[in-house]
Structure 1
Amino acid sequence: MTTTAAALLALLVGAVIGAGIAVVIFLSLRERDRARAQVSRAIPEGIQEVLHGMEDPAAIVDASLTVLASSPAAAPYGIVEAVALTADELRQVSRKARDSEGVATETFRLMRGAAPAESRLVTVRATKVSPRLTLLVLRDITERERVEQMRRDFVANTSHELKTPVGAVSLLSEAIESAADDPEQVRIFASRLTGEAQRLASLTSRIMNLSRLQASDELTEMREVPVDEVLTSAIEASLIQAAAASVEIVRGGDRDLYVSGDAQVLSEALSNLITNAIAYSSEGSKVGVGVKRVDDVVEVAVTDRGIGIPEADQQRIFERFYRTDQARSRRTGGTGLGLSIVKHAVQRHGGEVRLWSRPGRGSTFTIVLPLIEAPIEATPGKRKKKNKMKASKNGDHR
């Protein structure tokens, strides 16, 4: 019994000692791995492949802020493998994530591209991957911020523009009520009230048109549109204004050209340009409307010999509610939305609007649209053949 007990005791002591040694070895190995991790610059398996497949700019940087791996989209921001981060903002957010033992998010501007570089607004999220490695992911929010700013400006400008005619209508209504016993004054106030109501209706209509053009929905009335049809419609809509201003509209250029689009939208856009040209032209002058085919596009130019647009205003002329001549706009009833409508209408048709202007010499606005082939039924030979077939069906064999 004594021998057996001693053997069991020895076995137990051996097991305890073995377990202790195993624990010590395990703790030593873990401490070794932890120490290696503290100084290791090895990228965890799979991360580099993920980075190379990302569309957003992203990178892994070490404690010295050197880029170990990056996505292709990061290069334009100066984030290149084996090169240290140069942007102070990126360096700061990387340190912040590493020191806080977690995630850091910052929004700031970075330069993108080579000279001339452009400033972009980005949101950067830095995540600590290991004691020495940090993951940076950039999200370009420039366009989102621009659209949001446009929305805020649109609401503010619309409220401001609507306030003037609404206030005038209210005051004129009170004036009519006060002058109820004076028919002559009532007629004067009623006439002014009608003018303000028309101005309010015009402004509301243009705001709705611009909102429709800026919507993401596709244009619903797209078809093969004769440019001649668009010009005729736009010119006829402006004849009364031209006659009142003693301005002659002269049309010239190529004929029988076609574009794909919404005829009404294009006609309204061209009418806006002609209306502006008339409003800014002197009495007895001419407004030219010309059409020219250039390779695979159609150019429709509206030219006046008016006051012209200063160079400082030419970059902003297509902004909503922007006016170069506030006094003239008030006299002519301008809303400041016409050129913005033109720009968006043409862009929705895959084209662009160009401007040439010199103060004192006049302005030329050119609408550029993709050219399409004339439909078969519109070609002269096909029309003649079609008419003969029709005559044959009717029994006319001349």
Structure 2
Amino acid sequence: MDTTQLALLALLLGAIIGAGASLILFAAFRARARVARDAVDVVPEGVTAVLEAMDDAAAVVGPSGVVMATSPSAAWLGLEAGEPLEHGELRDLVRNARSGATETETLRLQRGRMSTDSRLVAARATRIAERLILLIVRDLTEQERLEQMRHDFIANTSHELKTPVGAITLLAEAIELAADDPAQVRAFTARLSAEADRLGRLTGRIMNLSRLQAADELTEVGDVAIDEVVASAIEAHAVQADSAGVELVRGGERGLYVRGDAQILKEAVGNLVANAIAYSPRGSRVGVGVRAVEGVVEIAVTDQGIGIAEADQQRVFERFYRADQARSRRTGGSGLGLSIVKHAVSRHGGEVRLWSQPDRGSTFTVRLPLSEAPVIEVPVKKKRSAKAAVATTAKKGRV
């Protein structure tokens, strides 16, 4: 067989393969179009309109387990018109509902085909026609998370309050027993005062956090000077830094302003400075830098401390969570400081970012919307006329 014949044979085979592939694609397209057409013909128009208005993931499933129509929010679950129902648990629910009884179950399902993220859902299947099943899936994951947070908050608050209260009770009893020993009384009194201060700080932070979470909007809003916020945070923790042997350094831009509550922002930045000092070794520095970038004010608090492991970085803003339990106990930390920072910044329309590496330190960056500096009106003194000046001089001459 010569070269020309081989070329013709190759062209013939290519044409056959191409035609076969085209037929397969055409058949698949016709099948998809037929399913879509059947959905329009079979699914009642009123049901389709209801699906379009639903917030929950919902779908109408045909007799062969194929999804005939979906709500706009069904995509997160991988429900698509013309595709078979993928989740085995949902298929079982639909199969049981074909007998006429409404089936409801709470399930854990993967989010989409390729995702490993599981979601807690409440699924309900109801027969709406002879061969059609309406499937409604409501995502309960956020509700579950909030319930868990509420449970943890109550449990942790009870535990944290019991510790200083119990210590105060024991120290009071010790003082009574050591009434004849002035030195012991003084020692126990100092410890009693420390525990009372710890209890006061803890209750104060719980109240601040509750206030931030309960309020929908800030009550005291005005032009806030970032210079004042940073200066207040550094001044309030200067004694703590001096006792810990840590140097506080302030740098960056000045004269920047944001809109918000000055006191809340001072407490937020102060919490970051206090944390940086507590987790820094003696002889190190804690820096507070300020800059404006693309309409945002960034306040970065950087330390040279022990750092935060990657596994803990997503949880440090949770209430009562401590990356280093032992150190927090020694320093009297409540585990609420960063949670207060997160909620305070969020109330101001901002965010908190974290960079950290173990044994290299951490940087917490507060990002707030930049606002223009307020215009300060300076009162202008009125110039006196020459006639008034002469009258005043004459009057003084008479005196």
Report how far residue 56 of structure 1 moved: 2.0
Change (3 A) 1:371 1:115: farther
Q: Which residue pairs with 1:72 in the alignment? A: 72
Q: Which amino acid aligns with 1:393?
A: K
**CA positional deviation for 1:322:** 1.5
Q: Aligned runs of 1:176-325 on 2, under 5 Å?
A: 176-325=175-324
- Asked if 1:391 is matched to 2:390, the reply is no
CA distance in 2, matches of 1:326, 1:343: 20
TM-score normalized by structure 2? 0.82
CA displacement, residues 276-297 of structure 1 (integer Å, 9 cap, x when unaligned) = 1111122222211000111111
Query: Residues of 2 paired with 1:224 and 1:312: CA distance?
Result: 38
Runs of 4+ in 1 over 4 A off after TM superposition: 113-117, 394-397
Match of 1:381 in 2: none
C-alpha distance in 2 between matches for 1:348 and 1:65: 47
Q: Secondary structure at the match of 1:371?
A: strand
Post-superposition shift, 1:357? 1.4
Structure-1 residue corresponding to 2:397: none
Let me know the Cα RMSD of the aligned residues: 1.9
Task: Report the CA distance between 1:325 and its aligned residue.
Answer: 2.0
Give the equivalent residue in structure 1 for 2:12: none
SS in 1 for 2:371: coil
Question: How has the CA–CA distance of structure 1 residues 155 and 255 changed in structure 2, closer, same or farther, with 3 Å as cutoff?
Answer: same
Point out the more displaced range, 269-278 or 329-338: 329-338
Distance 2:325 2:67 in 1: 54
- Structure 2 distance, partners of 1:337, 1:163, is 16
Q: CA deviation at 1:116?
A: 4.8
* TM-score, normalised relative to structure 1: 0.82
Q: Does 1:171 align with 2:170?
A: yes
CA distance in 2, matches of 1:343, 1:69: 42
Equivalent-residue separation in structure 2 for 1:156 and 1:187 (angstroms):
34
Report what 1:158 is aligned to.
157
TM-aligned CA distance change 1:114 to 1:271, over 3 Å:
farther
Once the two structures are superposed, residues 45-69 of structure 1 have per-residue CA deviations (whole angstroms, 9 ceiling, x without a partner) of: 4111221232221111122221111
Per the alignment, residue 57 of structure 1 pairs with: 57
User: Structure 1: any 5+ residue segments left out of the alignment?
Assistant: 1-40, 378-385
Residue identity over aligned pairs, in percent, reads 63
Return closer, same or farther for 1:83/1:269 CA change in 2, 3 Å cut-off. same
The structural deviation recorded for 1:395 is 5.2
Tell me which moved more, 84-93 or 323-332: 323-332
Question: Does the C-alpha gap of structure 1 residues 44 and 146 become closer, same or farther in structure 2, counting only changes over 3 Å?
Answer: same
What residue number does 1:339 align with?
A: 338
User: Larger Rg: 1 or 2?
Assistant: 1
Q: Partners in 2 of 1:174 and 1:394 — Cα distance? A: 75
Supply the distance in 2 between the matched residues of 1:43 and 1:53 (Cα, whole angstroms): 16
CA distance 1:45–1:288, shift in 2 (3 Å)? closer
Unpaired runs of 5+ residues, structure 2, are 1-40, 387-399
Q: How many residues align?
A: 346
In structure 2, the residue corresponding to 1:392 is in which secondary structure? coil
Task: For 2:373 and 2:117, locate their aligned partners in 1 and report how far apart those are by CA, in whole Å.
Answer: 42
Q: Where does residue 6 of structure 2 map in the other structure?
A: none
1:3-43 CA-to-partner distances (Å, cap 9, x unmatched) read xxxxxxxxxxxxxxxxxxxxxxxxxxxxxxxxxxxxxx832
